Chain A
C-alpha cells in the first residue's frame, strides 16, 4: 500500500505516494528523474548512490523511500548553482579526477559532507574518508589531489601547481602534449552525463533474464504459462522463440545461443527473457517460470576437464573440452636450452578476476514503424554490436542504429555484444515497445567475460652473463562455458612474451579449456598480465640464481627500436631501457635492493602492450578508425564525429586534441560526437588499446583535410600561395611572415561561403601484411608497441602476512603523451587495479559451480585507504606510426604491475608465492613453511 511522504530534495518540497519497497535511490531516479545519483551495486558497497540525508552521506540504495518522510535530501544536482560549479566539482574536473564518471556524483557528495564536517581535512582524513566510494578507473590518486585542491580553495588558499615535464616531441605543438581536463568532465561532475540506465523512453518496458541455477543440464521443458498470466507481463521469450543461430565474439568460435537451446552450461546461462511494466514485475514473473532441468555431470577444473572421459560441454566440438589449442615453436628450443648456462622452470597460477566497472551493463532497444531498431548501450564497441545485430537479425546495418551513451567503465567487460543488447532488441520487437534491460551486480559476474585464470609452466634459459637463450611456456586457460574472446586471449598469452626482451628460441603451448563456469573474456591487458607476471617472477629468480641484479638482467635483454621478434612482430619505437633506468633511479633501487630488513621488499616488473590489434575481430576491409570533422559555417567551432568509444579513458578529449592540432585551432573550439552508428563513421571501438593511435590518426587526418581547405581559402585573402601558409592557435599566417595573418574562422567562413560545407575526412588502417604467415600470427601484431617498467616497494607484516604496498614508481614509453593528465590517469588506475588483482581479487565458486562472492562485499577491490604512493614518469619517445608520435597506455600500464608486486613481496618475506592472489594467508603460510624448512636443514 502506498504511503504519502513529504520531503525536501535539493531545496524543493515534494509530496509523493510511495510503496514500502523502493529505496531513496529509486525515488530519486525513477520518480524525480534525478539520475545524477547512480546505481552501482545496490547493496551499499560501492557508494555510487551516495546522497546527503539531513546533511549526512548515506547510501541511498539502503534507505527505504518511506523512511524519508520529513527529511532533507541533497543530490549531485544541487551542487552547481547559477553562479557556477562548486569548488569540489571544479577541482575534480581540473585535476583529472574523473574518468568514466560513474562514481563521481556519489564521490563528490561524500567529499562535500567530509569538507562540511572537517574543512581542514588532512590528506589522510581524505584518504580514509572516501573509502565508501569505490572507483575502478583512477586509482584514487587524482581524486585525493582534487579534494585537497578543493579544500584549499574553500579555505582561500591556492594549491601548489605541480611541475610539468614536457616531452621533447611536443615542444612545437599548441594542443598536443598539454594536460587538459576532459571534455565530458563537467557533465560528469554535475550528474548531467547520461548513461544508458539514466534514459527513460516513453512507454518503455523493462526486461530481465532467467538464468540457469544449475551448472550443466538438459532443459527438458520450460513452462511460462503461469508467468504470462501475471498482470504487467508483456512478453516472455525462450530458446524456441529466437533464431536458431549461434553468436559470440570471435567468428571461428561462435558458440553461444541467444537463449539456451536444449542445454545450459553454467550457473548463469541465459534461459528465458521477460518484458514487463517494471522490474519488480519481471522479478516476480521469473519466479513463475518453470524449467525442468535434467542435470548432467559438470566439470570446473580445466585440468580435470581435459582428461579423457570428463563431462563434455559440447558434444560436437572441442574434443576433451579444449576450446583453443596453440602450438607455436620459433627458433630451436632444444638448441636454445642446450646453449644456456642456467635453466630454471616453475609453475605459476593466476586468478579469475572480474573487471567490475562501477556501472552495470545496460541496454535499451526501440523499434520504429519503419522496421528500424535503435539500441542504446553501455558498450565499448558500437561497431561490433552493430555488426553482430545485423547478423542475428539478418538485417542491413542501415536499419540498425547503435548508440553508445556515456559508459561507466569497461576494462573489457563491455567489449563485445551482450545478451542485454540482443535480448532487449528481441523483447522490444515482440512487444512493440521500448525495452530497457540492465544487469545487477551479481548478474554482471554471472555474465562473466573477466580475466582467464591461467596455469603457466614457464622455463627460461640464460647464459652466465644473463643473456636469454630460450623460453618455453605452456599456458592452460580456464575458459568457462563459451568462447567469448578466448581464442584471442590464448594467442595473446603466448605472443606478447616476446616484445619486452629479445630471445632467439621460443616455444608456446596454449590450451583454452571449457568448464561449467561463466565464460572468461578480455580484461585490461588481454591474456598478457598473468604470463607476464610469471615471466617477470621467473626472470628475477633466474637473476638471483646467477648472482645478477634483477634490474641488470632486464637491461641486458631489453627490447630496442626497430627489432623483428622471433614470432614475427615488428617493434618500431622503443624506449624500454629508458623506462627501466628511470624507475631504477627514482626508486633508489641500488640503495635498497638487498639492504632492507626482513619484512621490507622491493621488486621490479616490466610490460607493455599493442597499440591496437593489427587485424579486426572479424574479416573486413574497413579502415579501423574513421573520422569526420564538420566546421560551423561561421568558422567558430569544429565538431569531430568519431566512431571510437570513450569509456572513461578520455578518448574523445585525446582525439579532439589531435584534430585541433592538425587544424590549427585551440581546444576550446571543438566538440565531439562519438560512437553513434547513424552519425559517426565506423570505428572499431575501445579494445586492444587501439583508440589513441588509430582514432588519433583518423582524427588528425580529418583535421589536416580541413586545414588544407582553410589554407586554400586564406590564400585568396592573403594573396599568396597556400603552400606558404600555416595555421596555428586560431590563426592562418604566412610562414615566413607570421605577422601577416587572418583569423582561422575568417578563412573557414570564406571557404564555406565560396564552396559550401567545410568537411574533413580521415581514416586509419594498420599497415598491410603485419606479422608472420603461421597460424595465429595475426594476434600480437600492431602498428606500435608500448613499453613500461615499474618498481614496487612493500612492507609485509611477518606475523599476519598482510602486505602494505608503500610505493610504485612506474615509467612508460607511450610515445607522445597527447594528454599527459589522461596518461597519468591510466597509469595510476592500472597500478591500483593491478595491485588489487594481486592482493585481493578472486572469484570463488561452490561445489556446484555457483559463484559465492558475486558482489563488492565479498569480492573486494581496493579502496582509497589501500593505495600506495604512485610516481609516474612518461619517458621521451616518438612513434612514427602514431598521431604526433603517440602510442597506447591504457592496457600496457597494468601488465608490469603483477610481477613487480610479486617480486617485492618475495623480496620482503624471503619466499616466493607462485599463485595469485597473494593473500595474507598465503604469505603467512609461505613464511612459516620457509621457517620450518630452515630449522629442519
Chain B
C-alpha cells in the first residue's frame, strides 16, 4: 500500500495550522492518523497538504475549572483514559474510550480525530452527547463553541468547514445524582466497530428521574439523541426503571423508533433495531444504578 505524495507541515500554533490549511488546495489536519492514513492508503482520500497538529502543545491538554473539564482535541484515547481528572468525573467516558480499537490505536488515535471523522459508529460521541459536551471550534478569526449534538451532519460529515479546527471538547461537570452508562455491541470482544451503541444519562432526585438523555450510535447517519426515549424517561419514578419494566420496554422501543439504521455487513436493519432496544434497556438500568450510587 502506498501513501501518495503530499506536502507535510508541522505548525506550532493553532493560528499557523489554520492558515496552512486555508492556503492549501486540499489540505487536511492529522493528529493520530488512525483513520486518515487508513483512508489514504485505501485510496479513498488524497490530500495536497497534511498539517500535523502534534507540534501544538496546547492541543492535548486536559484541564478543569469549577464548571467544566476541557479536553484538548489531540489528547489520545489513552491520555484521556489515564487522566485522573477524567477518571474521577467521567468514568463512563473512560469506559467508552477503552472500547475503541486496540491498545495501539488508543495510544495514537485522538478524541478530536474520533469526532471529526464523523462516523456514525464513533464511540466517543454518545457519552459526550449525553453529558452535554460542547466542541470548541477555532478558525482564523474566531473561536466558537457548539453543542456536540449539533456537530454531526451526516455519516462522515460534520459542520466543520475549511479553515476550522476542533481545539477542545468541553464537558460540563455533572452534579450529584447523575448516572451515565455506555453500552456497545461489537461482533467480537475487542477491536471491533460498534454495530449498535447507546449512551444513557439519568439524573435522579428523590426517587424521580428529573433529567435524562439517550444517545444512539451506529443506527443513523450520525450519533443522535433519541428524543422519544429521552422523553419517556424524564419524570418517571426511579423505581419504575428496573429490568424488563414497562417503562424500560417503552424506552427501548422508542430508541428503536428513532433509529434509521442501514443494512451492512455488521447487521441488518431489523437486527439493529432489536439490539438497540436491548442495549437501551440495559444502559438505562446501569445508568440508574450509577445515579443511585450503587
- Real complex partners, A and B? yes
- A residues with a Cβ closer than 8 A to B are 1, 3, 19-23, 42-45, 47, 50, 53, 56-59, 62-64, 66-67, 69, 110, 113-114, 128-133, 279-280, 283, 440, 799-802, 840, 844, 852-853, 857-858, 860, 862-866, 919-921, 924-925, 928
Residues of A within 8 Å of B104, CB to CB, are: 44, 47, 50, 57-59, 110, 132
Residues of A within 8 Å of B33, CB to CB, are: 62-64, 67
Contact between B275 and A800, CB atoms less than 8 A apart: yes
Instruction: Mark interface residues in B164-195 (1 if CB within 8 Å of A CB, else 0).
Output: 00000000000000000000010111111100
Q: A43-B38, A44-B34 are in contact. Are A866 and B189 (CB under 8 A)?
A: yes
Beyond the given pairs A42-B1, A59-B108, A67-B54, 19 more chain A to chain B contacts, judged by CB atoms under 8 angstroms and listed by A's residue number, are: A21-B3, A43-B41, A44-B38, A47-B102, A57-B104, A62-B33, A62-B37, A67-B33, A67-B52, A132-B103, A132-B190, A133-B102, A440-B1, A800-B185, A858-B265, A864-B190, A865-B188, A865-B190, A920-B267
Chain B minimum-CB-distance residue to A18: B8
Chain B minimum-CB-distance residue to A70: B55
Instruction: Mark interface residues in B114-145 (1 if CB within 8 Å of A CB, else 0).
Output: 00000000000000000000000000000000
| Bound CA–CA A132/B102 (angstroms) | 5
Contact between B275 and A863, CB atoms less than 8 A apart: no
Contact between B105 and A59, CB atoms less than 8 A apart: yes
| Bound CA–CA A926/B268 (angstroms) | 14
Residues 56-93 (chain B) with a chain A CB within 8 angstroms:
78
Contact between B271 and A925, CB atoms less than 8 A apart: yes
Contact between A3 and B8, CB atoms less than 8 A apart: yes
Q: For the complex, is B148 an interface residue (Cβ under 8 Å from A)?
A: no
Contact between A58 and B107, CB atoms less than 8 A apart: yes
Chain A minimum-CB-distance residue to B107: A56
Chain A minimum-CB-distance residue to B82: A117
CB distance from A77 to the nearest CB of B (A): 19
Contact between A110 and B192, CB atoms less than 8 A apart: no
Contact between A920 and B187, CB atoms less than 8 A apart: yes
Q: For the complex, is B7 an interface residue (Cβ under 8 Å from A)?
A: yes
The 7 closest A-B pairs by CB, nearest first: A132-B102, A131-B190, A20-B8, A865-B189, A865-B190, A21-B3, A921-B271
14 pairs across A/B with beta carbons < 8 Å? Answer: A20-B50, A43-B1, A43-B38, A44-B37, A58-B108, A67-B54, A130-B103, A131-B103, A279-B2, A800-B279, A852-B265, A919-B187, A920-B185, A924-B274
| Bound CA–CA A67/B54 (angstroms) | 8
Residues of B within 8 Å of A801, CB to CB, are: 271
Residues of B within 8 Å of A58, CB to CB, are: 104, 107-108
| Bound CA–CA A770/B260 (angstroms) | 61
Contact between B41 and A42, CB atoms less than 8 A apart: yes
Contact between B7 and A20, CB atoms less than 8 A apart: yes
| Bound CA–CA A27/B219 (angstroms) | 40
Residues of A within 8 Å of B279, CB to CB, are: 800
| Bound CA–CA A59/B101 (angstroms) | 12
Residues of A within 8 Å of B42, CB to CB, are: 43
| Bound CA–CA A19/B188 (angstroms) | 37
Residues 1-33 (chain B) with a chain A CB within 8 angstroms:
1-8, 10, 30, 32-33
CB distance from A574 to the nearest CB of B (A): 37
| Bound CA–CA A23/B50 (angstroms) | 14
| Bound CA–CA A63/B3 (angstroms) | 12
Residues of B in contact (CB 8 Å), total 44
Q: For the complex, is B278 an interface residue (Cβ under 8 Å from A)?
A: yes
Q: A59-B108, A62-B108, A924-B271 are in contact. Are A860 and B38 (CB under 8 A)?
A: no
CB distance from B245 to the nearest CB of A (A): 15
CB distance from B20 to the nearest CB of A (A): 14
- B residues with a Cβ closer than 8 A to A are 1-8, 10, 30, 32-34, 37-38, 41-42, 50, 52, 54, 78, 101-105, 107-108, 185, 187-193, 265, 267-268, 271, 274-275, 278-279
Most chain B beta-carbon neighbours within 10 Å: one of A47, A58, A858: A58
Residues of B within 8 Å of A57, CB to CB, are: 103-104, 107
Cross-chain contact of A62 among B34, B50, B191 (Cβ < 8 A)? B34
Residues of A within 8 Å of B108, CB to CB, are: 58-59, 62-63
| Bound CA–CA A853/B42 (angstroms) | 12
| Bound CA–CA A844/B265 (angstroms) | 8
Residues of A within 8 Å of B191, CB to CB, are: 45, 131-132, 863
Contact between A800 and B265, CB atoms less than 8 A apart: no
Residues of B within 8 Å of A56, CB to CB, are: 78, 107
| Bound CA–CA A924/B3 (angstroms) | 42
Residues of B within 8 Å of A279, CB to CB, are: 2
Contact between A22 and B103, CB atoms less than 8 A apart: no
Chain B minimum-CB-distance residue to A797: B278
Residues of A within 8 Å of B189, CB to CB, are: 131, 863, 865-866
Residues of A within 8 Å of B265, CB to CB, are: 844, 852-853, 858
| Bound CA–CA A887/B279 (angstroms) | 49
| Bound CA–CA A215/B193 (angstroms) | 29
Chain A minimum-CB-distance residue to B103: A132
Cross-chain contact of A802 among B3, B37, B185 (Cβ < 8 A)? B185
Residues of B within 8 Å of A858, CB to CB, are: 265
Contact between B278 and A800, CB atoms less than 8 A apart: yes
Residues of B within 8 Å of A283, CB to CB, are: 2
Contact between B6 and A20, CB atoms less than 8 A apart: yes
Contact between A64 and B187, CB atoms less than 8 A apart: no
Residues of B within 8 Å of A860, CB to CB, are: 187-188, 192
CB distance from A24 to the nearest CB of B (A): 11
Residues of A within 8 Å of B275, CB to CB, are: 800, 924
CB distance from A105 to the nearest CB of B (A): 14
Residues of B within 8 Å of A19, CB to CB, are: 5
| Bound CA–CA A130/B103 (angstroms) | 8
| Bound CA–CA A372/B185 (angstroms) | 57
| Bound CA–CA A919/B275 (angstroms) | 13
| Bound CA–CA A23/B3 (angstroms) | 9
Residues of B within 8 Å of A50, CB to CB, are: 104
Contact between B268 and A110, CB atoms less than 8 A apart: no
Cross-chain contact of B188 among A20, A862, A928 (Cβ < 8 A)? A862
| Bound CA–CA A19/B2 (angstroms) | 12
| Bound CA–CA A725/B189 (angstroms) | 59
Contact between B102 and A64, CB atoms less than 8 A apart: no
Chain A minimum-CB-distance residue to B8: A20
Contact between A44 and B190, CB atoms less than 8 A apart: no
| Bound CA–CA A130/B50 (angstroms) | 31
Contact between A863 and B190, CB atoms less than 8 A apart: yes
Contact between A64 and B2, CB atoms less than 8 A apart: no
| Bound CA–CA A19/B7 (angstroms) | 9
CB distance from A428 to the nearest CB of B (A): 22
Residues of A within 8 Å of B37, CB to CB, are: 23, 44, 62, 64
Cross-chain contact of A131 among B8, B54, B102 (Cβ < 8 A)? B102
Contact between A21 and B107, CB atoms less than 8 A apart: no
| Bound CA–CA A114/B101 (angstroms) | 16
Cross-chain contact of A64 among B8, B190, B267 (Cβ < 8 A)? B8
| Bound CA–CA A629/B293 (angstroms) | 72
Residues of B within 8 Å of A110, CB to CB, are: 103-104
CB distance from B189 to the nearest CB of A (A): 4
Q: A840-B188, A863-B189 are in contact. Are A66 and B8 (CB under 8 A)?
A: yes
Q: A59-B104, A852-B265, A920-B187 are in contact. Are A280 and B2 (CB under 8 A)?
A: yes
CB distance from B46 to the nearest CB of A (A): 11
| Bound CA–CA A453/B191 (angstroms) | 27
Chain B minimum-CB-distance residue to A130: B103
CB distance from B243 to the nearest CB of A (A): 11
Contact between B7 and A1, CB atoms less than 8 A apart: yes
Residues of A within 8 Å of B190, CB to CB, are: 128, 131-132, 863-866
| Bound CA–CA A857/B190 (angstroms) | 11
Contact between A21 and B103, CB atoms less than 8 A apart: no
CB distance from B177 to the nearest CB of A (A): 29
CB distance from B112 to the nearest CB of A (A): 16
Contact between A132 and B101, CB atoms less than 8 A apart: yes
Chain A minimum-CB-distance residue to B196: A800
| Bound CA–CA A20/B37 (angstroms) | 12
| Bound CA–CA A140/B228 (angstroms) | 44
CB distance from A591 to the nearest CB of B (A): 28
Residues of A within 8 Å of B8, CB to CB, are: 3, 20, 64, 66
